Amino acid sequence: MGQARIEGRSATLAMGLGALLVTMALIAYSEAGFHAAVSGLRLFFDVVLPSLLPFFLLSELLLALGVVHFLGEWLEPIMRPVFNVPGVGSFVFSMGLAAGYPMDAVLTAKLRRQNLCTRAEGERLLAFTNSADPCLGL
């Protein structure tokens, strides 16, 4: 048996034992686990979903209608010399200002999958949109 195989098995065994201990703790303290799960779901539905869902829907709609490509053509002369990213990066920048971190990462990944920016341009785009967060001053 090779050293890597033994390490892999011991890691699997440790993960399995950890999962077993967590399961036993949830069974032993089921009321606390239930209240924690309800609290987590309430937080998700009261805070996370209402704050991010409109931005996800709006961005998908604008991408599907071609508005992003249209505006990207107009803003290419500004975005390319200033930030060295394509004009569609302006959409990611604006959505990052409005919605914060998760939105700009999702949109940059979409632009990358659609071959609207190169890998280097995507990394550069994330570098200056990642700090654009509406809650930065709080």
What whole-number distance in Å separates Cα of residue 124 and Cα of residue 114? 17
In 111-131, which positions are buried (b, 16+ CB within 10 angstroms) versus exposed (e)?
A: bbeeebbeeebbebbbebbee
Give, in order, the Cα–Cα distances in Å from 137 to each of 9, 48, 57, 91, 131.
47, 19, 26, 22, 11
Q: What is the CA radius of gyration of the chain?
A: 22
Please give the chain's pLDDT, 138 residues, in tens. 566 677 778 889 999 999 999 999 999 999 999 999 999 999 999 988 888 888 889 888 998 998 988 999 999 999 999 999 999 999 998 888 887 777 888 899 999 999 999 999 999 998 888 764 555 444
Ranges of each domain in the chain: 3-129
